[in-house]
């Protein structure tokens, strides 16, 4: 099995690159990532062997690779669909979608509503093992920025579910009872009073 390759991009297009490494040209699926010809690239590799087909999938980080493996373990999610999820959405957006049970956030080519629901169910307890920070970006384009990891951890320690904490934070922020510059203590007090 090939686990890692470093080399020069000799060709790129249609979601794949030809990576020249040790005088061998490797055809690697990269999804929606873009690399310039002539650039040096280091990729973590997943080798997929099905029937008479051997495919290589390349990832910039080991976290992306781990998430890809989790996604391909979900019934109905193949390599190309998992690659689309990882390269279009990224680890943090998929993590947020799972934490908030938001299947609509998983819309990419190849993922319908049923598949998105399966992904949420399958990854619910597993995605924590990736060690992704629970600091959650709620609505990237809005005035709501981040729930700090300390706030989420403190409330989880008291037995509250992450989704409930995030929903309450969002509601309080919308009502302007807390603000993104509020102290951790103020945020925790406000959430506890309204959860």
Q: Do residues 43 and 2 lie in contact, with contact meaning Cβ atoms separated by under 8 Å? A: no
Mean residue pLDDT of the chain comes to 84
Domain range 62-132, CATH architecture: Orthogonal Bundle (1.10)
Q: For the segment 35-45, what is each residue's pLDDT rounded down to a tens digit? A: 889 999 999 99
Residue 26's alpha-carbon distances to 6, 33, 67, 79, in angstroms, are 10, 16, 22, 17
Block residue for tokens 């005088």 = 23
* Residue range 62-78: mean pLDDT, rounded: 93
* Residue range 25-41: mean pLDDT, rounded: 93
Query: Does the model's pTM come out above 0.75?
Result: no
Confidence tier at 115 by pLDDT (50, 70, 90): very high
Q: Do residues 120 and 103 lie in contact, with contact meaning Cβ atoms separated by under 8 Å? A: yes
* CATH hierarchy code of domain 1-60: 2.40.50.140
Q: Do residues 7 and 40 lie in contact, with contact meaning Cβ atoms separated by under 8 Å? A: yes
Q: Do residues 47 and 56 lie in contact, with contact meaning Cβ atoms separated by under 8 Å? A: yes
Confidence tier at 18 by pLDDT (50, 70, 90): very high
Q: Tell me, what's the pLDDT at 140? A: 39
* pLDDT greater than 80 at residue 55: yes
Q: Tell me, what's the pLDDT at 133? A: 52
Question: Which among 120, 132, 168, 126 has a CA at the least distance from the CA of 147?
Answer: 168
Residues forming a β-bridge with 16: 13, 29
CA–CA dist 72, 93 (Å, integer): 17
Q: Tell me, what's the pLDDT at 148? A: 66
Domain-by-domain residue ranges, the chain?
A: 1-60, 62-132, 136-194
Domain range 136-194, CATH architecture: Orthogonal Bundle (1.10)
């Amino acid at each position: 099995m090939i686990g890692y390759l470093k080399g020069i991009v000799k060709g790129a297009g249609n979601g794949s690159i030809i990576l020249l490494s040790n005088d061998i040209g490797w055809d690697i699926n990269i999804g929606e990532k873009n690399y310039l010809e002539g650039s040096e690239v280091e990729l973590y590799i997943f080798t997929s062997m099905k029937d008479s087909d051997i495919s290589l999938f390349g990832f910039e980080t080991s976290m992306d690779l781990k998430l890809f493996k989790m996604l391909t373990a979900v019934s109905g999610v193949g390599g190309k669909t998992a690659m689309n999820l990882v390269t279009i959405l990224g680890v943090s957006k998929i993590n947020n979608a799972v934490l908030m049970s938001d299947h609509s956030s998983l819309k990419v080519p190849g993922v319908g509503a049923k598949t998105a629901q399966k992904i949420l169910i399958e990854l619910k307890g597993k995605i924590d093992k990736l060690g992704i920070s629970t600091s959650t970006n709620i609505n990237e384009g809005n005035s709501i920025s981040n729930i700090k990891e300390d706030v989420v951890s403190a409330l989880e320690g008291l037995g509250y579910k992450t989704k409930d904490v995030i929903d309450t934070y969002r509601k309080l922020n919308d009502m302007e009872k807390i603000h993104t510059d509020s102290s951790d203590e103020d945020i925790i007090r406000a959430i506890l009073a309204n959860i």
